[in-house]
Amino acid sequence: MERTYLMVKPDGIQRGLIGEIIAMFEKKGFKIVGLKMLRISRELAEKHYGEHKDKPFFEPLVEYITSGPVAAMVIEGKAAVSAAREMMGVTDPLKAAPGTVRGKYGIDIGRNVIHGSDSPASAQREIALFFRENELVAYSRDVDRWVYE
């Protein structure tokens, strides 16, 4: 089983989409092992998006992600990283497939509603950035025998 980091961005919170978005991953069969609201500091934003620090969109990106609270979560399941990326849709919401989070709920690339780790290594790094070990809960679900064969 694999874990990935997902985050409903400030536009998703303001637009009342937390429930819809969590429900998509929950109903898919993934297990939520971490969940919280937080306001990201500039320092944390710059760390989280460090790979983009030389890009022209870096400053607006940091402004956006720190502009209001976010909903942070860690989900667990088979191939969670790649499956969640598929469910989110591509970065530009106008190009994202219709059933995806960004395809359903976004228009502009700078308001693309959700973040998800892009590799298992990024997932590990991002989970550690946003969650303490004791904020992640290990538990079993009886329903998992109906999710996995």
- Contact residues toward Mg ion (CB under 5 A) are 118
- Scanning 30-38, 109-117, 128-136, 140-148 for contacts with ligand DAT by CB under 6 A, the matching segment is 109-117
One of 109, 120, 135, 136 touching ligand DAT (CB under 6 A): 109
Q: Which of 85, 96, 115, 131 is catalytic?
A: 115
One of 6, 7, 40, 61 touching ligand DAT (CB under 6 A): 61
Applying CB under 6 A, does 110 fall inside the site for ligand DAT? yes
Active-site residue, 48 included: no
One of 5, 33, 112, 127 touching ligand DAT (CB under 6 A): 112
Which strands, in side-by-side order, build the sheet including 2-8? Answer: 31-38, 70-77, 2-8, 114-116
| Of 149, 143, 7, the residue nearest 75 (C-alpha) | 7
SS3 content of the chain, % helix, strand, coil (to 5): 45, 15, 35
- Contact by Cβ (8 Å): 110, 61: yes
Which residues are part of the catalytic machinery?
A: 115
